[in-house]
Amino acid sequence: MTYEFKETLLYVENLSVAYDDTIIIKDINVIEKDVVRPNVDCTGQVIAFLGRSGRGKSTFFKALTGLIPSNTGKVLIRDFENSEPNAAKPVKEGDIGLVDQKYTLFRHKTVTEALKFSLRKTKLSESEKNEKIKQYLKEWGLDNCADKYPNELSGGQRQRTAIIEQLFSSDQFIVLDEPFSGLDVGNIQEVKKAFDLLGKSSEVNTVIFSTHDIELALELAQTIYVIGYPTIDGKLQSYGTIVAKYDLREMGLAWKDYCGDHLTLSKEIIHQMMIS
Amino acid sequence: MIKFLTPFEKISKTNRTLILTGWLVLLIAIWFIATSGEKHLFPSPSQVLTGFQELYKEGLVVHIFNSLKLCFISIFLATIISLVLAYSWPIPLLKSVSEFVTKFRFLPFTGLSFYITMVVHEARMMQVWILVIFLTTFLTTSLIAVIKDIPQEEFDHAKMLKCTRLEVLWQVIILGRIDYVIDVIRQNLAITWMMLVTVESIVVATGGLGFLIKNSDKFMNTGRIIALQIIILLIGLGLDAGINYLRKSIFRYSKI
C-alpha cells in the first residue's frame, strides 16, 4: 500500500526519568510523522509500545504527557495553532491526552457535563459545543448515556467517554495505557472500533498505546516500539529504553488483516521482549 | 439451621429480618424475666415506661429540641472550620497547620473546657465552642483521610484536561468528594452525640438530654436513665439514617 510521510507530529529526544538515584527510563528517542495515503480520506497515526512489566512504559507515558518532569531530553509536538510548516512546541500537561487503565472520569459529572468541561477551553460557542457533543455521542454509540454518571456506565462506555474527553481537550494526541487489559472480547472490539474512529476523524490524530497483546498491536499499529532493558557490553542494564522499532508500513504489514507475516514478526517481537 | 452458623454464608433478606426479630424478642424476654423479682439492678420495663411518662411531663420534647439545636449548630460550625483546614491540606505552606489540628484530638476534654470557661462566659456559647473545638479535630482528621484516599489517577485525569492546580483542587477534591463530606459528618455523628450529652451535663445551661440524665442520676432514678438512653440511641440512629438517605438522594453518583 502506498503512503507518504508529511510533517513531524511527535519528536522525543533522549528522554530520561529517574526517581532519586534510580533510573527508570533512559535515552528514549521517538519520531513520528503524519502519514498520508492516496485515496484514503484520513489516516491517523497508531503507535504501539510493547514490553514486559516494569520496563518503564507507564513512566514513559507520564513523561510524554508532561505529568512527570524528565531528567534529560525533550518532547516536542506539532503546534497546530502555528501555521508554519513543522512548527513545534514543548509538551505540557494537557497537550497530550492520557487515558489510564481504569478509564478515570470525574465521578460527579455526567457524560455530557464531562464532555462540556473538556471543551471549556476551546473557542466554540455554547451551541457549537452542544452540537459537537451530540455528534460524538451518536458516532461513538453513547447517545443513551448522555445523562449518566461514570458509576452507571459499563467498562466500554467509560473508556469511550474517557477517549472522547481527552480528544476534545488535547491537541489531537492520545495516549492509552494498556487499553485492552481486563477487557472481554466484546469490549476489545469496541476499543478497536474507537481506534478506527480516531484514525478516520482527523489526518493528524495520533494514538499511542501500550499493550501486552502482541497480536492486537500488530493488527492496529503502524509502528511498534519495544521497551526493555538494554544489554550493553554483554551486561543487562536495569533501566528501560527502546530496544527495537518495527515500522509496519515499511514492512508492508500496516492496514492489513492479520496474516502469516504478522505471525513471523510476532515471534521476533517476543524474542526481543524476552531478551530485554 | 447449620446454614445460619456457617461463616460467610449468604442468607435471604427475610431470614435476616427473622434473625434480627428473634434477637430482639430474646433481649426483651431476658429484660422482663431478669427484672421480675423484687431485687434487681436494672430497671424493669414498667419502671422505664414510668420514666418515659415523667420525662414527657417535664418537657422532654423541649429538651430534645435544645440538644438537637446544639448538635446542629456545633456540627455546622465545626464542618465549616474543618473544610477550610482540610482543603488547605494540599497547599504545602498550610499542610502542617491542618495536620497539627488533627493531633489535638488526643487532648483531654476537661483540660481544654477549663480554658474555654475562662474565655467564654455564656453557658450555651461555652457548650457550642467546646463541641466545635473537639469536633473540628475529628472532622479534619476524617476529611484529610478522604483526600489522602483519592487515587493519583483522578488528579492526573484533571491535569490532562488542562486544569490549573486550583481547578484540580476544586474539581477533584471539593466538588468530587462533596458526598464524602456528608458521610464524614454521619460517621462522626456518634462522637458528636456522645460528646453533646457529656457537655450538657458538665456545663448545665438551657436544658437538653445531658441535663436530664444528670438530674436523673442525682436521684438514682434508674427507670428515667434507661428511658433517656433509649431516646438518645433512637435519635442518634434516626439522624444517622436521615443523613445517609440525604446523601444518597442528593448525589446519584455516590456509592460509598
Residue B217 has pLDDT above 80, yes or no: no
- CB A65 to CB B161 under 8 A? no
Confidence band, pLDDT 50/70/90 cuts, at residue A200? confident
Residue B109 confidence (pLDDT): 67
Name the DSSP letter for residue B17: H
Residue A199 confidence (pLDDT): 86
Residue B148 confidence (pLDDT): 96
CATH of the domain spanning B48-250, picked from 1.10.230.10, 2.40.50.140, 1.10.3720.10, 2.60.120.620: 1.10.3720.10
Q: How near does any CA of chain A get to the CA of B171, in Å?
A: 8
pLDDT average, residue stretch A108-135: 94
- CB B160 to CB A93 under 8 A? yes
The percentage of residues in chain A with a pLDDT greater than 70, rounded to a whole number, is: 100
What rounded mean pLDDT belongs to chain B?
Answer: 88
- CB B253 to CB A118 under 8 A? no
- CB B160 to CB A67 under 8 A? yes
Contacts of A170 in chain B (CB under 8 A): 160
Q: DSSP H helical segments within chain B, as ranges? A: 2-5, 13-34, 45-57, 60-88, 92-103, 109-119, 123-148, 152-160, 165-168, 178-202, 209-218, 222-250
Q: Topology of A4-95+170-274 in CATH?
A: Rossmann fold (3.40.50)
Tell me the longest C-alpha to C-alpha distance in chain A: 62
The percentage of residues in chain B with a pLDDT greater than 90, rounded to a whole number, is: 46
Residue B256 confidence (pLDDT): 61
Residue B144 has pLDDT above 80, yes or no: yes
Contacts of A105 in chain B (CB under 8 A): 157
Confidence band, pLDDT 50/70/90 cuts, at residue B130? confident
Which chain A residues in 189-228 lie under 8 Å from chain B, judged by CB atoms? none
* Residues B196, B199, B203: CA angle, nearest 5 degrees: 140
Residue A15: other Cβ atoms inside 10 A: 23
Nearest-by-CA chain B residue for A122: B162
Confidence band, pLDDT 50/70/90 cuts, at residue B218? low
Residue B209 has pLDDT above 90, yes or no: no
Confidence band, pLDDT 50/70/90 cuts, at residue A207? very high
> Is A59's Cβ below 8 Å from some Cβ in B?
no
| Helix, strand or coil, per DSSP, at residue A103 | coil
Confidence band, pLDDT 50/70/90 cuts, at residue B204? low
Give residue B45's identity as a one-letter amino acid code: P
Residue A210 has pLDDT above 90, yes or no: yes
Q: Identify which of A246, A108, A149, A276 has the alpha carbon closest to the alpha carbon of residue B173.
A: A108
Residue B12 confidence (pLDDT): 92
- CB A121 to CB B162 under 8 A? yes
pLDDT average, residue stretch B67-75: 90
Nearest-by-CA chain B residue for A107: B176
Give residue for cell 506539532.
A78
Strands A4-19, A72-78: pairing is antiparallel
Give tens-digit pLDDT for A63-83: 999 999 999 999 999 998 888
Residue B205 has pLDDT above 80, yes or no: no
Contacts of B159 in chain A (CB under 8 A): 67, 93-94
- CB B153 to CB A107 under 8 A? no
Contacts of B160 in chain A (CB under 8 A): 65, 67, 93-94, 97-98, 166, 169-170
Q: How near does any CA of chain B get to the CA of A91, in Å?
A: 12
- CB A104 to CB B255 under 8 A? no
Residue A96 confidence (pLDDT): 92
Best mutation site among A58, A68, A93, A96 for testing chain B: the one with the most B CBs within 10 Å?
A93
Predicted ipTM of the assembly: 0.86
> Is A68's Cβ below 8 Å from some Cβ in B?
no
pTM reported for the whole predicted model:
0.84
Q: Identify which of A206, A190, A189 has the alpha carbon closest to the alpha carbon of residue A198.
A: A206
- CB A67 to CB B162 under 8 A? no
Contacts of B153 in chain A (CB under 8 A): 100, 102, 104
Nearest-by-CA chain B residue for A148: B253
Q: How near does any CA of chain A get to the CA of B229, in Å?
A: 39
